[in-house]
Chain A
Amino acid sequence: MGDTMTTYALETQSVIKTYTSESGTINAVDDVSLQVAAGEFVALVGPSGSGKTTMLSILAALLQPSSGKILLDGDDLAGMSDLERVDMRREKIGFTFQANNLVPYLTAVENVELMLRLNNKLDKAGKLRARELLARLGLGERLHNLPGQMSGGQQQRVAIARALIHNPSLVLADEPTASLDTERAYQVVETFAGLIHEQKRAGIMVTHDLRMCEFVDRVLLMRDGKLVQIYAERDEIMELARGGRH
């Protein structure tokens, strides 16, 4: 089959993250192997304590696994120094978080341009791209607004623009709809999914809200640190999405 020939943007191999405490040793992530191709949008779901946030942190190069490999464009994040991981986060990874996403003293366009500035890519074309991306996200009139002058949904859309502007290989979203009402949540995730597909990024979204799975290509279910099920068929994903919150 063609699967063996696929080059994945992201691939993890037997990732384990172990925490040791007085009560014993816990595998927060337990032998997780997954692959995400460029242009694929994946949801990582599971109950609280299932290890999905720890897994996201490892994929984001914010946390070192105890063992295993995380290959991003072929480079193993697990074998990198702290400084190299900072470089990877800046150059190859895009982020949106639950809240406090934006730098409060920078306007919407400045927040987006910050990623280009950090990557030394802030030229005329970059500035134009930042404005166009924000306009596409419906924020053409809000370019010079500070985060405090925007709604939660608008802030999330600015964060999405910031996560995509520097052409990262991997885009990660941690509960991007947690602080939004249902209508805004659908809009944000739909837009996010559309851009990931269009720009051929590998996207992973951690969410409690299974309704948002409607817009993803695959759903990875974690429980007790393990990847226990993968939903890849459209029907089963839609059925899961209709099930509501996890």
Chain B
Amino acid sequence: MGKNLSIASYLAVKEVWRNRGRFLLVSLVIALITLLVLFIAALGEGLGNGNREYISKLDAEVIVFQAKSDYLIAASRLGRDRLAAVRRVEGVADAGMLGTASANLILPEDGETLKVAILGVEPGRVGEPQVVEGQQLSTDLAEEAIIDSNTAIRSGLGLGDTLTLRVTQGTQDEFFSLEIVGITDGQQYSLQPSVFVPFFTWDRIRPKSEAEVNSSNPIANVILVKLEDPAQLEVVSQRLTAQVNNVEAATLKTTIQSLPGYSAQQSTLQTQGGFTLFIGILVIGGFFQIQILQKVAQIGVLKAIGTANPIVAMSSIIQIVVITIIGVAIGGLLTFLFSLTFPPTVPIVFNGTTTAIAIAALLLIGPLGGLVSIRYAVRIEPLKALGLSS
């Protein structure tokens, strides 16, 4: 085995080195496929992350929705009476209102606007993100805001600055100023950078219809629930549905899957990535098959002089693996260099796990594509290859 591997490696490396131009070309094709697959994976991750970032980072296990809202946050409406009922359910450690809306943040530099998600959360309750700089929100009515790092980067605003939001209420454009007391990490929601405000402040400054303008009854979208024992998720969810009037409960995962367009977007990008890998397999497989067809006589000679089949097969496998690794490495480097040139508005996120899975899949396309050619090489008959058969 060791001797066979040594000879196979020798033949494989010599052939690659002496035909390095041709093999480099194939590596570059693999590099381009790598670039495409990694970008699709990063784009999928970026878009998905932009949609779910705040939800996925929540320190909650269950989200309570208005019944029959199909777990759509924007479609759900819950009043404070439900919050009290939720907090009374056995197994609930904490619960907080969450209100979501969009607004235009006026950029201090040029007066242009940046579309942001304004999220109303209860200070000190589940749903309020932890700041990485500054302090948490103080009271339910404070005219304060915590901005996420995306808002900070894209608006240029910082701790202690005053941000101005333009919101349409009824038929009027209203402007609200809030002091930035804290900055949290990336907490995008609905592909928008986020601004967190105390819940009652949120209810005052959120976009409203004409009918809502004079309403004094604050309505949240959902209630975020933290459990005493996360293992009791199923049981407590059932209790919530049974004991609180007109609600339905969902896990964070279900909520994320129900985000408008999220599943369709992710499955589309995954399909694209899958097809790119499939095309890669066909391209690489085609190349190695053509190469083997060109080498029939040469393999015939090798076999005729006593080269065993395992050596021929191992040599082909080593070549394929080496070429694939070089291609994926070049592709990875190109992806990294390209990613440096993208502005922060492009939703590209290189998540370690997703990238690792994509790279593992890419490393497999060479051997998978080359399987047919290896089988062909092993089956070459030296007699036929050398034209000795009758």
Measured CB to CB, the closest approach of chain A to B76, in angstroms, equals: 68
Q: Mark B1-18, 1 if CB is under 8 A from A, else 0.
A: 001000100110011011
**Are A174 and B388 in contact, with the CB atoms below 8 A?**
yes
**Are A87 and B386 in contact, with the CB atoms below 8 A?**
no
* B386 partner, pick from A88, A97, A104, beta carbons under 8 A: A97
B residues in contact with A162, CB < 8 Å: 305
Is B390 an interface residue, CB under 8 A from the partner? yes
Is B298 an interface residue, CB under 8 A from the partner? yes
A100 with B297, Cβ < 8 A, contacts A62-B388, A86-B306, A91-B306 known = yes
**Are A100 and B14 in contact, with the CB atoms below 8 A?**
no
**Are B306 and A105 in contact, with the CB atoms below 8 A?**
no
B residues in contact with A19, CB < 8 Å: 390
Is A37 an interface residue, CB under 8 A from the partner? no
Measured CB to CB, the closest approach of chain B to A17, in angstroms, equals: 9
* A57 partner, pick from B3, B302, B383, beta carbons under 8 A: B383
A residues in contact with B19, CB < 8 Å: 105
Is B304 an interface residue, CB under 8 A from the partner? yes
Measured CB to CB, the closest approach of chain B to A2, in angstroms, equals: 34
B residues in contact with A83, CB < 8 Å: 308
Measured CB to CB, the closest approach of chain B to A44, in angstroms, equals: 13
Measured CB to CB, the closest approach of chain B to A111, in angstroms, equals: 10
Q: Mark B370-390, 1 if CB is under 8 A from A, else 0.
A: 000000000000110011111
**Distance between Cα atoms of A56 and B383 in the complex (Å):** 11
**Distance between Cα atoms of A137 and B301 in the complex (Å):** 21
**Distance between Cα atoms of A90 and B11 in the complex (Å):** 16
Measured CB to CB, the closest approach of chain A to B297, in angstroms, equals: 4
Number of A-B pairs whose CB atoms are under 8 Å? 70
**Are A117 and B10 in contact, with the CB atoms below 8 A?**
yes
Measured CB to CB, the closest approach of chain A to B382, in angstroms, equals: 6
**Distance between Cα atoms of A19 and B390 in the complex (Å):** 9
**Are A102 and B3 in contact, with the CB atoms below 8 A?**
no
Is B164 an interface residue, CB under 8 A from the partner? no
A residues in contact with B304, CB < 8 Å: 60, 62, 89, 95, 97
Q: Report the count of interface residues on B (CB-CB < 8 A).
A: 28
* B302 partner, pick from A28, A87, A103, beta carbons under 8 A: A103
A residues in contact with B192, CB < 8 Å: none
Is B307 an interface residue, CB under 8 A from the partner? yes
B residues in contact with A60, CB < 8 Å: 304
Measured CB to CB, the closest approach of chain B to A59, in angstroms, equals: 11
B residues in contact with A105, CB < 8 Å: 14-15, 17-19
**Are A118 and B14 in contact, with the CB atoms below 8 A?**
no
B residues in contact with A117, CB < 8 Å: 7, 10
**Interface residues of chain A: helix, strand, loop or mixed (majority):** mixed
**Are B390 and A118 in contact, with the CB atoms below 8 A?**
no
Is A187 an interface residue, CB under 8 A from the partner? no
**Distance between Cα atoms of A88 and B305 in the complex (Å):** 9
**Are B15 and A118 in contact, with the CB atoms below 8 A?**
no
B residues in contact with A114, CB < 8 Å: 305
Is A110 an interface residue, CB under 8 A from the partner? yes
Measured CB to CB, the closest approach of chain B to A102, in angstroms, equals: 7
A100 with B298, Cβ < 8 A, contacts A56-B388, A62-B383, A105-B18 known = yes
**Distance between Cα atoms of A28 and B383 in the complex (Å):** 15
**Distance between Cα atoms of A238 and B56 in the complex (Å):** 94
**Distance between Cα atoms of A63 and B17 in the complex (Å):** 34
Residue in chain B with minimal CB distance to A172:
B304
A residues in contact with B309, CB < 8 Å: 86
* B306 partner, pick from A56, A90, A106, A110, beta carbons under 8 A: A90
**Distance between Cα atoms of A120 and B3 in the complex (Å):** 8
A87 with B306, Cβ < 8 A, contacts A53-B390, A120-B3 known = yes
**Are A104 and B305 in contact, with the CB atoms below 8 A?**
no
B residues in contact with A104, CB < 8 Å: 298
The A-contacting residues of B in range 256-315, CB under 8 angstroms, are 297-298, 300-309
Is A164 an interface residue, CB under 8 A from the partner? no
Residue in chain A with minimal CB distance to B14:
A105
Is A191 an interface residue, CB under 8 A from the partner? no
**Distance between Cα atoms of A102 and B305 in the complex (Å):** 11
The B-contacting residues of A in range 42-68, CB under 8 angstroms, are 53-54, 56-57, 60, 62-63
Residue in chain B with minimal CB distance to A117:
B7
Is A34 an interface residue, CB under 8 A from the partner? no
**Are B306 and A118 in contact, with the CB atoms below 8 A?**
yes
Is A101 an interface residue, CB under 8 A from the partner? yes
* B301 partner, pick from A88, A93, A103, A146, beta carbons under 8 A: A103
**Distance between Cα atoms of A162 and B388 in the complex (Å):** 20
Residue in chain A with minimal CB distance to B309:
A86
B residues in contact with A88, CB < 8 Å: 306
The A-contacting residues of B in range 353-379, CB under 8 angstroms, are none
* 7 A-B pairs with C-beta separation under 8 A: A53-B390, A56-B388, A60-B304, A105-B19, A120-B3, A174-B386, A174-B388
Enumerate the 8 nearest inter-chain pairs by beta-carbon distance, A residue then B residue, closest first.
A90-B306, A105-B18, A89-B306, A100-B297, A105-B15, A57-B388, A62-B383, A105-B14
Starting from the known contacts A103-B11, A104-B298, 17 additional A-B residue pairs (CB-CB under 8 Å) come to A62-B383, A83-B308, A86-B307, A86-B308, A86-B309, A88-B306, A100-B297, A100-B300, A100-B301, A103-B298, A105-B14, A118-B306, A118-B307, A119-B306, A120-B3, A174-B386, A174-B388
- Interface residues of chain A, those whose CB is within 8 Å of chain B, are 19, 28, 53-54, 56-57, 60, 62-63, 83, 86-91, 93, 95, 97-98, 100-106, 110, 114-115, 117-120, 146, 162, 174
